[in-house]
Amino acid sequence: MDKSKAALGATATVGMCSTLDPDSLSPNDRILLLEEQMKHMQRILMRMKKTAAHAPLPVPPLAPNINKDGIPVGTLCIGATEKSHFLFYLTVEAEGYAVGSQKFASLSAAAEAASLVRRSGWTFWKLLDGRTLKEAYRS
């Protein structure tokens, strides 16, 4: 099965977001891809629950587990657009950022790919407690 197709049709994907073409996949392919997406979302929800159970922590000092922008590696962020009802999930990595399986060198590149509009990634991406990355990591 072609991984570039979403459960409900052919797509150009960034993370879990997709455009739909319902006639392009068989019902079995749709079910398989929906199951994959559900597993991915369950992993994200488990991470969110673990993170939400802890009080917000102060910004840690620069260390090996901090990326080039001073954000802890493994941090999960959420982004949403005004026009879309989709949530986008960004994971901070040592060498950049990931939205789904897509890798980006900067927060702004990831925000632009998710929203299709040029914008600051520091204000687009939010921590699970609702603060923007700018509020949390830039004074």
- What pLDDT is stored for residue 102 in this prediction? 92
DSSP 82: S
Question: Do 91 and 75 touch, CB atoms closer than 8 A?
Answer: yes
DSSP string, 92-118: EETTEEEETTEEESSHHHHHHHHHSS-
pLDDT tens, N- to C-terminus, the chain (139 residues) = 444 444 444 344 444 444 445 567 788 877 877 787 788 888 887 877 776 666 565 555 555 688 999 999 999 999 988 776 788 899 999 999 999 889 999 999 999 998 888 999 999 999 989 999 999 998 6
3-state secondary structure at position 22: helix
